[in-house]
Amino acid sequence: MERWTTCAAIAGARCIGIIRAGSAGEATSIGKALFSGGLPVVEVAYTTPDASSAIAALRAECPDAIVGAGTVLDGAAAFAAVSAGAQFLVSPAVAEDVLRTGRRYGLPVLPGAATPSEIHLAMELGADMVKLFPAGSLGVEFMRSIAAAMPQVPFVPTGGVTADNALDWLDAGAVAVGVGGALTRGDPAGIQQRAEELAARLRR
């Protein structure tokens, strides 16, 4: 999948389901529940033990889904994610080696940024989208103001974004949101149900 095609798919889905789990097996189970609930784009955080195995398993078992790697902090983690089959890379910071690795292998990179200077630097270094992080602490009005001043930036607010406020962020100018936490806790049945409810809200 070409880089711009993946970005268009993320924007079309309007949401990235963020998976942080205690094991690769648990992460795979969460990802499958999110897909079954109608959320086609997920990222497996590299805080998950053996995250690469979860990414590979989800790519194999859910071929129609888009699976990325999250909490990618350096070039080594980025290469591991690429090797596992990740289709995009997300970082909590503007990490140049992550951006370079993504570019080298044709994957979109979403670096995290929290200030106008960081956002500008991310775009200058070739970010495909910018993860506004931590979005909950910054607030919807902050992003609305930044989006007005930098309308060329595709924002994906993450951190404190929930099913209840996701549409507020989208209305403020985000192209998509990153939702984890409350969405991915509990058993697979509950995760799928919450994913279905969020997917229905996003369609509206």
User: What residues are annotated to the active site?
Assistant: 43, 131
Torsion of CA 126, 129, 135, 138, to 10 degrees: 50
Structure tokens at 121: 């630097």
Structure tokens at 124: 């200058």
Cα–Cα distance measured from residue 193 to residue 110, given in angstroms and rounded to the nearest whole number: 28
Give me the helix-helix angle, 24-36 and 51-61, nearest 10°. 40
In DSSP notation, 87-98 reads S-EE-SS--HHH
Q: Which residues have a Cβ under 8 Å from the Cβ of 85 and sit 6 or more positions away?
A: 55, 56, 59, 67
Structure tokens at 90: 């997300």
133 HSE (CA, 13 A, CB side): 21
